[in-house]
């Protein structure tokens, strides 16, 4: 899995049967910071994921995703803080308007 630093890679796609939803998972593999580099990488990775979902690559690669709700899930080992948190929260309305959910999953 590539993590946030490689925006060209979809890290993981899973099915959440409890929600009947596809989770397109982004791995946050380093500590959160307000660095411009990290913020740019988050934006680039989110854009890759949105393109993957909306342009049909998700269903093309995972036909069982057709007709399912989809969320982008950020898996991380700590809750996002500062500017990354604001960026993820700010993306929520834009993504929901496109029919895509977003969630943060803190793995401890």
7-47 tens-digit pLDDT: 999 999 999 999 999 999 999 988 999 999 999 999 999 99
Given this model, what pLDDT does residue 108 score?
83
Given this model, what pLDDT does residue 13 score?
98
Which pairs with CB-CB distance under 8 Å and at least 24 residues apart come from 94-102? 95/50, 98/50, 98/54, 99/70, 100/50, 100/53, 100/54, 100/70, 100/71, 100/72, 101/21, 101/69, 101/70, 101/71, 101/72, 102/71, 102/72, 102/73, 102/74
57-87 tens-digit pLDDT: 999 999 999 999 999 999 999 999 999 999 9
Record the pTM. 0.93
């Amino acid at each position: 899995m590539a993590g946030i630093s490689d925006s060209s890679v979809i890290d993981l796609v899973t099915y959440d049967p409890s929600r009947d939803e596809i989770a397109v998972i982004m791995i946050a593999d380093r500590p959160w910071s307000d660095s411009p580099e990290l913020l740019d990488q988050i934006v680039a990775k989110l854009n890759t994921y949105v393109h993957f979902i909306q342009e049909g690559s998700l269903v093309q690669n995972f036909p069982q995703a057709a007709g399912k709700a989809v969320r982008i899930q950020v898996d991380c080992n700590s809750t996002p803080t500062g500017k990354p948190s604001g960026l993820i929260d700010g993306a929520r309305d834009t993504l929901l308007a496109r029919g895509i959910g977003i969630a943060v999953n803190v793995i401890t």
